[in-house]
Structure 1
Amino acid sequence: MTGAVSETRLPVLPALMVEDAVRVALLEDWGRAGDITAQATLSAGHRASAVIAARKPGRLAGLDLAEAAFRLSDPEIRVEKVMADGARLAPGDVVMRLAGPARGLLSAERVALNYLGHLSGIATATGLFADKAAHTRARIVCTRKTTPGLRAFEKYAVRCGGGANHRFGLDDAILIKDNHIAVCGGVEKAIAAARDFAGHLVKVEVEVDTLDQLREALPARPDVIMLDNMGPDTLREAVAIAGGKVLLEASGGVDLDTVTAIAETGVDLISVGWITHSAPVLDLGLDIVID
């Protein structure tokens, strides 16, 4: 099950962003005195080798953060990344080899594995959804339902799993939802107001709950229409009404049992909050190599 994601070009995580986040995580873990267990049981001269390996099948994400944890813990630690983010993992696959001061290795272990397990879990969950929609035109996209402080990394993990990213925040696209429509006084009024406000590079998406709202939205020419909580039959009708004039995003009620039927309706995008807010951690472990 090895091999990197080929259907998408993975983004690059800026080294400064990675280092800043990992430094905070290490300081949180080390507290006021550092790793007193490692200090108590290991001398400064102890050296060790270790591997990080998958214990369950899945998709890999977060190697740069794990590497940064070990290098910040002790710059003498040698890190070899055996696999690449986006790779499909089988139980037993080694993803990283490590060698260096034992105190530094064990003091960084938990932070490194926390990042790897969490982000690989998101990549794995995304891959499960993407695989079920792979025979259709639909792309799986994430949402803003992310862990505070980890959004950029979690969205990176979605890409590692074969998905695509929705907006990163409130400032990079206009998404008119039901409450905006209620206050503004209607779908068409809300879209018109957004068009008047938006710069030429800012896209406008509107959420609709009914086919009547869809019909109201189409003449206002939004860039994307989100079809919220519609079943497959209604989604197929929405696709026919839109006639390819606008990107259609299905949202709500999406799980592994429903995603294939939703994808087969002809929508362009399927947004899934679960892949970032509830994906289970992928089990990876660090084991000392005894010569």
Structure 2
Amino acid sequence: MYSLTPDSEIERYIEEDAPYGDLTTTLLGIGAEPGEIAFTTRERTVLCCTEEAGRVLAKCGAEVLFALPSGTVAAPGTVILRASGPAAALHAGWKVAMNLLEYASGISTRTASIVERARAANQGVSVVTTRKSFPGTKKIAIKAIMAGGAFPHRLGLSESILVFSQHTAFLGGLDAFLEKLPELKSRAPEQKILVEADSAEEALRIAAAGADVVQVDKMPVADLAALVTEIRSRFPGVAISAAGGINGENAASYAATGIDILVLSSVYFGKPADFSTGINPKPKP
């Protein structure tokens, strides 16, 4: 996968950790000594941000020798990134690169697990993620979920139409909005219109009105299965998405209902991936 993170953000990551240089390395007088850094997996990991980690090291003055691409499934004990350079460069980039690798690869590994479980139950299901990544980390978060096999549900408010009850309340309620749905579709002919339902009964009314996607939130699996069957029978052109509380434990059950889309946030929260780092001097000739 490509690294789309701009240089300004890579530089900001480094500046956060070493705004005035590395006091320890400077005082020890080892900054100019040549060395090598290597990052190794401690567990099975779906990698993410090896590209950005390499760019951090390069910005600090090291040379990347080897890096596995994001999306690679790495077994425990796999060296995934190596770089060489003066000790000052290696130490300056070490923790920044490690943090990027561990947090992003944690997200991509959780995502891959959910995608695998969901598609084992429903080969055609699409797994997508919400806008609930931690503020300021969206580029990394989106790269991570894509490395794990998912796609973004919404990148932001500017590029998609998803109508909630919080919107329809300003229009006089759901029924008043549904009367305006044909007008909305005519004003945005290239966009799909997604509408969230608070109940199965609302979902059927939304489907009957011609929404492209009906989204339900926190609906029990048994109720969802019945709703999917009814919408498939009565409104075969309408897609159905489920959101709210979907995680690695229940994703397969939700997927098995025959749903089209699983919408989740759970992959953003959890344990980082676990890597070890070795920094060693180069042998002197």
Output the TM-score relative to the length of structure 2.
0.90
Change (3 A) 1:39 1:242: same
Q: Distance in 1 between matches of 2:85 and 2:144?
A: 28
2:41 to 34, 54, 57: 54
Superposed CA offset, 1:157-197 (max 9, x none)? 10101112111001110111122233323334335546645
Secondary structure in 1 matching 2:152? coil
1:116 equivalenced with 2:106 (yes/no): no
**8 A Cα contact 2:51 2:69, kept in partner:** no
Amino acid at match of 1:285: S
- 1:42–1:102 CA contact under 8 A, matched in 2: no
Q: Per-residue deviation at 1:207?
A: 0.6
| Rg comparison, structure with higher value | 2
Which residue of 81, 86, 106 corresponds with 1:101?
86
1:42 correspondence with 2:33 = no
Paired residue for 1:231? 220
Which among 260, 268, 275 is matched to residue 284 of structure 1? 275
* Runs of 4 or more above 2 Å deviation: 42-45, 181-203
Q: 1:143 to 1:195 in 2, by over 3 A?
A: farther
Written as runs of structure 1 = structure 2, the 5 A alignment for 1:161-200 is: 161-191=148-178, 193=180, 196-197=183-184, 198-200=187-189
Equivalent position of 1:6 in the other structure:
none
SS of 1:140's partner is strand
CA RMSD across the alignment:
1.8
Check conservation: 1:51, 1:97, Cα contact below 8 A: yes
Contact 1:82/1:97 (CA < 8 Å) preserved in 2? yes
Please, which runs of 5 or more residues in structure 1 have no aligned partner? 1-9
Q: Distance in 1 between matches of 2:22 and 2:168?
A: 53
SS in 1 for 2:6: helix
Aligned to 1:212: 201
Partner Cα separation in structure 1 for residue 65 and residue 150 of structure 2: 27
Aligned match of 1:92 = 77
SS state of the match for residue 127, structure 2?
strand
Structure 1 residues 171, 49: closer, same or farther in 2, change over 3 A? same
**What is the TM-score of this pair, normalised by structure 1?**
0.88
Distance verdict in 2 for CA 1:35–1:190, change over 3 Å: farther
1:20 to 8, 25, 48: 8
**Which of the numbers 250, 257, 266 marks the counterpart of 2:249?**
257
* Distance of aligned partners of 1:18 and 1:192 in 2 relative to their CA distance in 1, 3 Å threshold: farther
Residue aligning to 1:241: 230
